[in-house]
A = this chain, B = another copy of it.
Amino acid sequence: MNALLFNCTLKPRREPSSTQAMLDKLDKAMAKRSVKSEFIHAVDEKIAYGTASDMGKGDGWPAIRKKVMAADILVVGTPIWIAQRCSVCQMVMERFDAMFSETNEQGQLPLYNKVAGVCVVGNEDGAQHVGASLIYNLMQLGATIPPNAEAYWVGKAGGADDYIDVGQGHEYTNSMIETMSSNLVHIAHMLQKTPIPVDGNTAE
């Protein structure tokens, strides 16, 4: 069982990242359940703007797309900026958008029989709306969404508390990570055993 975890922070990998801090906790929680995770630090990957699966020379997406297809569990992690998923996260989702005109070997959308969840970190507000739209995108693309498949941190109105400094000690958020981890793994095992049959869900 393997997972692919996208860190969509605006900052390069060498800088401390609240999103990475949350994904690290999720990784640990899934590792206890025998899941091997790989991370994609999206802003460093030279992913081109666009909505096709391959935008040509220098595009970092095609290599990442192969890892997406090989994963059982997908997790998208994003900070909140100006109340929205950040631009790097949206750039990644635009590349996923190409999959709406692609299929797996059965003719279903490429993310069928994968499970997905999201991690969202912000300083004051927006975690549920950012999470909702990401979960919706992943579900549209064919992923199955387990219960409680989002973990998030936000501080109070106008807050200045970063997840990496303050949120990591927040019991509520830690409990969400634990629950999310457990449910992602269970539903992924279910889908391995009984994949979604071809029945009304293929492009014709």
A residues contacting B by CB (< 8 A) are 10, 29, 43, 49-51, 81-88, 90-91, 93-94, 96-97, 108-109, 111-112, 124-129, 131-133, 135-137, 139-150, 152-159, 161, 167, 170, 172-173, 178-179, 181-183, 186-187, 190-191, 193-194, 196-197, 199-201
Cβ-defined contact, B140 with A136, below 8 A: no
- A162 and B96 alpha carbons, distance in the complex (Å): 20
Count copies of this chain in the complex: 4
A181 and chain B: residue at smallest CB distance: B200
- A-B pairs with the 9 shortest C-beta distances? A158-B172, A132-B136, A145-B145, A182-B200, A87-B91, A87-B90, A178-B200, A129-B129, A83-B128
Cβ-defined contact, B155 with A156, below 8 A: yes
Are A83 and B200 CB-contacts (below 8 A) given A10-B51, A125-B125, A147-B111?
no
Contact of A147 among B125, B143, B183 (CB under 8 A): B143
- A188 and B170 alpha carbons, distance in the complex (Å): 34
List 30 interface pairs A-B (beta carbons < 8 Å), by A numbering: A10-B49, A10-B50, A10-B51, A49-B87, A81-B93, A81-B97, A83-B133, A83-B137, A84-B85, A86-B94, A87-B88, A108-B147, A111-B147, A126-B126, A126-B128, A135-B139, A136-B150, A140-B148, A141-B147, A144-B144, A144-B146, A145-B145, A146-B196, A147-B196, A154-B157, A156-B156, A157-B167, A178-B201, A179-B200, A190-B190
